[in-house]
C-alpha cells in the first residue's frame, strides 16, 4: 500500500565518497529510499543504512537496467525518482513535494533539471532535462545494458513507450521512441518538475582516468553485438570514443548513427551537436558547415547549434554571418512548459545544452567579433550583457579588459572600471538571490563575492602590477594558487618576491627556515599552497626562473621535486646559466665537457628543456630564455649547424609570444645567411603586413610558398595581399578617370572578398598580453649578446 509521496531508487558500487553528499541533499521525512548495492567492497552499504535507506544486494552482471529494476516492485510510494550516487539536489526538493500532489493523473512521468559539471568554473556545465520521475506501479521498467532506457509496457507486452532515463553529460541522452505503444495516451512533452540536481561524474579529472569510458565502451560493444546497427548504441559508441580521445573513430560512429536515426529520435539533436563539435575539432569545416546549415533549421530553438555554426563560419572567414548566428543563439532559451509550443502548435523538445549557450556565451562571442572589427563600444556593451547573465564569467571579464586596453585606457583605469562593474553586478546578484530568483544563471551565494575574475582578467591582459595590487588589498578576500601568483610576480619584474614565494610554497624547508623567510609584499587573504602537491611543468619552470633571475642556483628542495628523468637537465641548465665559461671544447665539437658527460638526453629531459625556454619567453625573462636556448642547442648540435638554426627557432618562439620586432631582426639575419625556411619567411611577411608594407609582405609569402606549396597560411596571406593591391589599383583608376565608374561593382565585390579573407584565421592571433611585447625585448637581449654576460639577473631587469 502506498503511504508516501516520493521514493528514491539508486544503484551503487563503491560510492562511499559520493553517497553522503547525495543522501544529505535528500533529507526529508516523507521520502522512501531503496539502494541496490552491486558488490561494494568499501563502506557504501553501511553508510546507506546509516541514512535510513533500505539496502538491497545484487550481483553485478554488466547490466545497468537489470540492477535498476530490482527495487522498482518494492516501492510503496506514488512517485519514483531514480538517481546516481554522484548526483545531488541543488534546490527544489521542497517545491517538488508540493508540486507532485497537483500533477494531473494523466501525467505519469516528469522531467527534472540536471547541471552536469565538466570543469571547475560555474559556467563549465551542461544542462539536461531528462525524465527521472515516474509513477510507481504503472508498468515502468528499464531496459538496456548501458545508458538504460525507461519503458512502459501494458501488461508487460512487447510494445512499449521508450523514455530516456537520464543524461549524465552533454553526450549521453537516450533514446529511440519508434516502438511507442499507440494504445497509451501521453502528453507530447513531459512537464518540467521544480527539482534541480548537480552531477559531477563526468568532470575532466574523472574522464581523464579512462576507467569509466573504457567500461562504457565495453558494454556498448556488447549491445552492438546483440543489436547491430542500432543508431542509439552507435551514438553512445561515438561518445565513448570521444571520451577516450579517439576522435576519428568517434566521428565515424556519429555519422553512421545520424544516417540511421529516426528524425523524431529524442537523442538526435544532441547527436547533431556532438558530431558538429568533433568535426570542428578535426577541422572538417565544410562538412560541419553543411550539417549545421540544415540541422539548425530543423531545431531552430537549439542555441548550441547556432553557436557551433557561428564558430564554423568564423573559422571560414564569414564573420558577419557568424555574428548573426551568435545573435540567433542569444534568442533561444528554455521556456516554461505552458509556453513551449512553437508557431505550428507543436512542442519544442528540451535540448541538452551547454550552460550559457543562449546567453552569456553567445553575447561573449558577439563581443569578440565586434572588438575584432573595431567596434569597441559595442563590444563593451555585449560583454556587459553577458555578465548580466553570469557576472563571474571569466571570458567576458577578460574580453572587457582587452577591449578597454585596445581603446588606449591605462591599466589603472581598466582595473578601476572592472572593479566598479563587478561590485555593481555582485550587488545585483545578491539582491536576486535574496528575492528567491531561482532562474538566475549565477551560482554565487556569498555575502560579498570575491573579485577573483577581475584579478585574472587583469593578468590575462598583461596588467600584472594591477592584478597584484588588487590581490594585496586586504579588503578583497581572494584565494589564488601559488603557481599563478609566482608567474605574475615574474612578469611584473618582482623577481625576489617570486623566488621567496616559490621557496616558501614549494620548498622542503624546516620550520625555522620558514620563520626566517622575509615577509612578502603580496599580502592577499590567502595563498593556496601545499608542499605535498605534484608541481606542474610550468610551475617547476617558474620556480627555476625565479631562482636564476635572482642569481641563485637551483636549491636542493627544487631538485627533490623533479623527476629522475629530468633532474640531470635541470642541473646542466643551472650550470650553463650561472657557471658558464667559454671553454676550448666549444671550438672542438668532438670533445665533451663535464656537463655533456653528465647529461643523458631523454625525451622527457628534452621536453622539459623546451618547456622552460618557452616559459621564460612567456614570462618576459628573455635573456635567460636566449642564453639557455643557445647553450643547450650548442650541446646537441655542431657549431656550424647550431648558430642559424638556433636563432631561427628562438625567433619563432618570440613571434608566438608577441615579440615581433625583436624576432624580425633575428629572422632578417637568418634570411641574409640563406637559412630561413617557409615558416620563418611567413613570420617576417606577417610582420611587414602588420606595418602596411603589402608588396614586401606578398613577396615573402610567395617565397614561403616556393619552399612549401602546401603552406595554407602563406597562401591565405598572399591572397589577402593580392586583394589589397587590386583594390588600391581600382581606387587609383576611379580617381583618375570618370569613365572608370564601371569598376564600382568590381570594387564592392573585392571588398567583400577581402573581408572574408582577412576574417580567416591565417595570422598569428595576439591578445593584449602579447600586443604589449611587439616593441619590447630588444635592449635587454642586445646588451646581453654584446657583453656575453653571465649576470642575467641584472640584464633581465
Domains of the chain: 1-209 (3.90.550), 584-796 (1.25.40.10)
Q: In whole angstroms, give the CA distance from residue 540 to residue 550.
A: 16
Q: Which residue has the cell 553508510?
A: 47
Mean pLDDT calculated for residue range 347-351: 75
Q: Is the dihedral of CA 137, 140, 141, 142 positive or negative?
A: negative
The predicted pLDDT at position 547 comes to 95
The predicted pLDDT at position 147 comes to 92
Give the pLDDT band (50/70/90) at residue 334.
low
**Letter string b/e over residues 372-387, b meaning 16 or more CB atoms within 10 A of that residue's CB:** eeeeeebbbebbbbbb
Whether the per-residue pLDDT at 317 is higher than 80: the answer is: yes
Nearest to 649 by CA among 690, 673, 677, 622: 677
The predicted pLDDT at position 181 comes to 31
Q: How many CB atoms lie within 10 A of CB 350?
A: 25
The predicted pLDDT at position 174 comes to 33
Mean pLDDT of the chain: 84
Residue 491 contacts by C-beta under 8 Å, 6 or more apart in sequence? 462, 464, 619, 620
Asked if residue 83 lies in contact with residue 8, where contact means CB atoms within 8 angstroms, the answer is yes
Asked if residue 645 lies in contact with residue 603, where contact means CB atoms within 8 angstroms, the answer is no
The predicted pLDDT at position 775 comes to 75
Summarize the chain as % helix, strand, coil (round to 5).
Answer: 55, 10, 35
Q: Is 676 helix (H, G, I), strand (E, B) or coil?
A: coil
Whether the per-residue pLDDT at 779 is higher than 90: the answer is: no
Q: In whole angstroms, give the CA distance from residue 667 to residue 689.
A: 15
Better-scored residue on pLDDT, 407 or 744: 407
Q: Kindly state the helix (H) or strand (E) to which residue 131 belongs, with its residue range.
A: strand 131-135
The predicted pLDDT at position 212 comes to 85
Give the pLDDT band (50/70/90) at residue 530.
very low
Q: In whole angstroms, give the CA distance from residue 124 to residue 118.
A: 6
Mean pLDDT calculated for residue range 507-517: 48
Q: Is 187 helix (H, G, I), strand (E, B) or coil?
A: coil
Please state the separation of Cα 296 from the chain's center in Å: 24
Mean pLDDT calculated for residue range 563-573: 87
The predicted pLDDT at position 84 comes to 95
Q: In whole angstroms, give the CA distance from residue 401 to residue 157.
A: 62
Mean pLDDT calculated for residue range 593-621: 76
Better-scored residue on pLDDT, 343 or 189: 189
The predicted pLDDT at position 166 comes to 41
Conformation bin of residue 6: beta by default, left when phi > 0, alpha when psi is -120 to 50: beta
pLDDT in tens, 17-63: 999 999 999 988 789 999 999 999 999 999 999 999 999 999 999 99
Whether the per-residue pLDDT at 508 is higher than 90: the answer is: no
Give the pLDDT band (50/70/90) at residue 796.
very low
Phi, psi of 150 (to 5 degrees): -85, 125
Nearest to 648 by CA among 624, 628, 623, 626: 626
Whether the per-residue pLDDT at 262 is higher than 70: the answer is: yes
Whether the per-residue pLDDT at 464 is higher than 80: the answer is: yes
Residue 71 contacts by C-beta under 8 Å, 6 or more apart in sequence? 9, 34, 35, 36, 56
Q: In whole angstroms, give the CA distance from residue 136 to residue 80.
A: 6
Whether the per-residue pLDDT at 401 is higher than 60: the answer is: yes
Give the pLDDT band (50/70/90) at residue 2.
low
Q: In whole angstroms, give the CA distance from residue 456 to residue 458.
A: 5
pLDDT in tens, 217-231: 999 999 999 999 999
The predicted pLDDT at position 158 comes to 41
Q: Which three cell numbers, joined as nine digits, stand for 714?
A: 602563406
Whether the per-residue pLDDT at 444 is higher than 90: the answer is: no
The predicted pLDDT at position 600 comes to 55
Q: What is the pTM of this model?
A: 0.85
Give the pLDDT band (50/70/90) at residue 185.
very low
Give the least confident one: 6-15, 347-356, 455-464, 759-768.
347-356
Residue % of the chain over a pLDDT of 90: 65
Q: In whole angstroms, give the CA distance from residue 550 to residue 726.
A: 54
**Letter string b/e over residues 540-568, b meaning 16 or more CB atoms within 10 A of that residue's CB:** bbbbbbbbbbbebebbebbeebbeeebeb
Amino acid at each position: 500500500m502506498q503511504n508516501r509521496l516520493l521514493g528514491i531508487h539508486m544503484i551503487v558500487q563503491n560510492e562511499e565518497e559520493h553517497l553522503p553528499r547525495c543522501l544529505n541533499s535528500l533529507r526529508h521525512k516523507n521520502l522512501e529510499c531503496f539502494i541496490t548495492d552491486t558488490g561494494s567492497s568499501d563502506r557504501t552499504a553501511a553508510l546507506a543504512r546509516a541514512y535510513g535507506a533500505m539496502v538491497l544486494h545484487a550481483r553485478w552482471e554488466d547490466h545497468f537496467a537489470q540492477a535498476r529494476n530490482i527495487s522498482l516492485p518494492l516501492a510503496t510510494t506514488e512517485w519514483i525518482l531514480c538517481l546516481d550516487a554522484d548526483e545531488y539536489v541543488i534546490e527544489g526538493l521542497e517545491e517538488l513535494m508540493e508540486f507532485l500532489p497537483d500533477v494531473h493523473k494523466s501525467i505519469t512521468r516528469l522531467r527534472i533539471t540536471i547541471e552536469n559539471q565538466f570543469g571547475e568554473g560555474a559556467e563549465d556545465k551542461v544542462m539536461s532535462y531528462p525524465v527521472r520521475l515516474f509513477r510507481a506501479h504503472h508498468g515502468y521498467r528499464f531496459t538496456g545494458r548501458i545508458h538504460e532506457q525507461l519503458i512502459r509496457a501494458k501488461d508487460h507486452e512487447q510494445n512499449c513507450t521508450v523514455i530516456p532515463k537520464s543524461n549524465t553529460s552533454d553526450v549521453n541522452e537516450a533514446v529511440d521512441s519508434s516502438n511507442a505503444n499507440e494504445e497509451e495516451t501521453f502528453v507530447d512533452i513531459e512537464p518540467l518538475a521544480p527539482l534541480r540536481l548537480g552531477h559531477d561524474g563526468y568532470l575532466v579529472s574523472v574522464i581523464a582516468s579512462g576507467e569509466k569510458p573504457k567500461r562504457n565502451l565495453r558494454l556498448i560493444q556488447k549491445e552492438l553485438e546483440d543489436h547491430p546497427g542500432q543508431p542509439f548504441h552507435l551514438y553512445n559508441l561515438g561518445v565513448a570514443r570521444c571520451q577516450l580521445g579517439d576522435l576519428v573513430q568517434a566521428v565515424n560512429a556519429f555519422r553512421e548513427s545520424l544516417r540511421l536515426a529516426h528524425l523524431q529520435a529524442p537523442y538526435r539533436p544532441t547527436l547533431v551537436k556532438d558530431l558538429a563539435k568533433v568535426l570542428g575539432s578535426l577541422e572538417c569545416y565544410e562538412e560541419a558547415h553543411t550539417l549545421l546549415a540544415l540541422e539548425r533549421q530543423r531545431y531552430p530553438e537549439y542555441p548550441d547549434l547556432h553557436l557551433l555554426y557561428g564558430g564554423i563560419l568564423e573559422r571560414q572567414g564569414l564573420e558577419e554571418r557568424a555574428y548573426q548566428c551568435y545573435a540567433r543563439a542569444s534568442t533561444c532559451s528554455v521556456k516554461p512548459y505552458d509556453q513551449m509550443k512553437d508557431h505550428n502548435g507543436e512542442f519544442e523538445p528540451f535540448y541538452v545544452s551547454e550552460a550559457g549557450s543562449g546567453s552569456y556565451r553567445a553575447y561573449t562571442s558577439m563581443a569578440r567579433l565586434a572588438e575584432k572589427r573595431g567596434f569597441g563600444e559595442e563590444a563593451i556593451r555585449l560583454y556587459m550583457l553577458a555578465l548580466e547573465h553570469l557576472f563571474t564569467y571569466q571570458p567576458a571579464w577578460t574580453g572587457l579588459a582587452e577591449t578597454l586596453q585596445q581603446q588606449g585606457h591605462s591599466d589603472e583605469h581598466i582595473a578601476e572600471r572592472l572593479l566598479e562593474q563587478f561590485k555593481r553586478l555582485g550587488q545585483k546578484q545578491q539582491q536576486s538571490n535574496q528575492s528567491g530568483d531561482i532562474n538566475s544563471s549565477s551560482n554565487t551565494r556569498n555575502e560579498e563575492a570575491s573579485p577573483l575574475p577581475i584579478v585574472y582578467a587583469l593578468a590575462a591582459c598583461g596588467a600584472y602590477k594591477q592584478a597584484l595590487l588588487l590581490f594585496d588589498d586586504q579588503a578583497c578576500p581572494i584565494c589564488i594558487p601559488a603557481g599563478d601568483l609566482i608567474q605574475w610576480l615574474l612578469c611584473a619584474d618582482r623577481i625576489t618576491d617570486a623566488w621567496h614565494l616559490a621557496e616558501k610554497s614549494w620548498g622542503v624547508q624546516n620550520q625555522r627556515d620558514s620563520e626566517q623567510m622575509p615577509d612578502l609584499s603580496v599580502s592577499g587573504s590567502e595563498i593556496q599552497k601545499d608542499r605535498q602537491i605534484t608541481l606542474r611543468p610550468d610551475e617547476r619552470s617558474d620556480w627555476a626562473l625565479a631562482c636564476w633571475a635572482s642569481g641563485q642556483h637551483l636549491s636542493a628542495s627544487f631538485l627533490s621535486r623533479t623527476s629522475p628523468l629530468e633532474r640531470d637537465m635541470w642541473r646542466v641548465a643551472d650550470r650553463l646559466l650561472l657557471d658558464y665559461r667559454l671553454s676550448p671544447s666549444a671550438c672542438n665539437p668532438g670533445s665533451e665537457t663535464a656537463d655533456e658527460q653528465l647529461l643523458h638526453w631523454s625525451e622527457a629531459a628534452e621536453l622539459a628543456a623546451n618547456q622552460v625556454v618557452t616559459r621564460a619567453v612567456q614570462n618576459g625573462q628573455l635573456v635567460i630564455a636566449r642564453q639557455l636556448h643557445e647553450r643547450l642547442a650548442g650541446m646537441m648540435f655542431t657549431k656550424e649547424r647550431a648558430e642559424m638554426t638556433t636563432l631561427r627557432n628562438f625567433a619563432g618562439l618570440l613571434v608566438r609570444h608577441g615579440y615581433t620586432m625583436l624576432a624580425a631582426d633575428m629572422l632578417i639575419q637568418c634570411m641574409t645567411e640563406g637559412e630561413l625556411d617557409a615558416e620563418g619567411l611567413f613570420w617576417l611577411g606577417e610582420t611587414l603586413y602588420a606595418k602596411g608594407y603589402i608588396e614586401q609582405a606578398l613577396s615573402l609569402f610567395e617565397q614561403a610558398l616556393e619552399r612549401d606549396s602546401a603552406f595554407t597560411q602563406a597562401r591565405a596571406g598572399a591572397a589577402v595581399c593580392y586583394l589589397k593591391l587590386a583594390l588600391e589599383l581600382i581606387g587609383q583608376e576611379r580617381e583618375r578617370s570618370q569613365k572608370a565608374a564601371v569598376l564600382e561593382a568590381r570594387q564592392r565585390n573585392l571588398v567583400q572578398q577581402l573581408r572574408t579573407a582577412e576574417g580567416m584565421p591565417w595570422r598569428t592571433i595576439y591578445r593584449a598580453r602579447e600586443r604589449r611585447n611587439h616593441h619590447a625585448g630588444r635592449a635587454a637581449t642586445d646588451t646581453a649578446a654584446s657583453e656575453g654576460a653571465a649576470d642575467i639577473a641584472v640584464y633581465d631587469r
